[in-house]
Structure 1
Amino acid sequence: MTENLSSCDECPEGRVRDASGRCVMPEVTFASFILSLNTSALYHMGELPHPETGQRIVDRELAKHTIDTLALLAYKTQGNLDPDENELLTRILYELKIRFVKLS
């Protein structure tokens, strides 16, 4: 489902304009998926505030689960990613593990 808005209106949160000016969801890529999981892990580690309340909540179990999901993706996609995707996943996984250890 897309939303047609005049060119002066902004798209609803999470949507972007396509070439024809319609508000659509952004393209799903491996990088955007990895970055989404990264954001989720950071949120669960209390590094990012809740968008509506501004509160920072720490849930180690959910943070660990998200990091474990990224580790599983790294293992299952080994040898099948392009160099940029591999670098992104490797760096994010490393950074999240370091942050998680500091949190603990």
Structure 2
Amino acid sequence: METPDGGISFAQFILSLGTTTAYHFGDLPDPMSGERGETNLAAASQMIELIGMLQEKTRGNLDPPEAKLVEDLLYDLRMRFVQAQQQPRIVLP
């Protein structure tokens, strides 16, 4: 997935944004503590919007596997967002 010059590929970049979004859903542990992260739906939503913006701005400039990766990732993240919104929230006194 590296580019010929040793940098990261577009696919790696998009996947890193997806990983960040998963962290905001609370699906991944905090890298410092190792404990599961807290859900931050506002941040997850912002990341989904950012990936959607990249999809629009790069439309017609990606090769088919890259375009499919972005499309599939956005679908999965949007479905995960809907699921997260439907989960009951615990409100502490």
Report the TM-score when normalising by structure 1: 0.72
2:23 to 27, 43, 60: 43
Unaligned 5+ runs, structure 1: 1-25
Number of residue-to-residue matches in the alignment: 79
Match runs of 1:18-57 below 5 Å: 27-53=7-33, 54-57=35-38
Is the Cα–Cα contact under 8 Å of residues 22 and 28 in structure 2 kept in the other structure? yes
Please identify the structure whose Cα radius of gyration is greater. 1
In structure 2, C-alpha distance between the alignment counterparts of 1:55 and 1:103, rounded to whole Å: 15
Q: Would you say 1:60 and 2:37 are equivalent positions?
A: no
Report the TM-score when normalising by structure 2: 0.80
Corresponding residue of 1:9: none
1:13-47: per-residue Cα shift (whole Å, max 9, x none)?
A: xxxxxxxxxxxxx6211001100100000000111
Amino acid corresponding to residue 66 of structure 1 in structure 2:
M
Cα offset for 1:52?
2.4
In structure 2, C-alpha distance between the alignment counterparts of 1:51 and 1:31, rounded to whole Å: 22
Corresponding residue of 2:52: 71
Identity of aligned residues (%): 41
- Which stretches of structure 1, 4 residues or longer, exceed 4 Å deviation after superposition? none
Amino acid corresponding to residue 28 of structure 2 in structure 1:
L
In structure 2, C-alpha distance between the alignment counterparts of 1:62 and 1:55, rounded to whole Å: 16
CA RMSD of aligned residues (A): 1.0
Corresponding residue of 1:99: 80
Unaligned 5+ runs, structure 2: 1-5, 86-93
Decide which structure has greater helix share.
Answer: 2
Amino acid corresponding to residue 71 of structure 1 in structure 2:
G
**Structure number with higher relative contact order (C-alpha < 8 Å, ≥ 6 residues apart):** 2
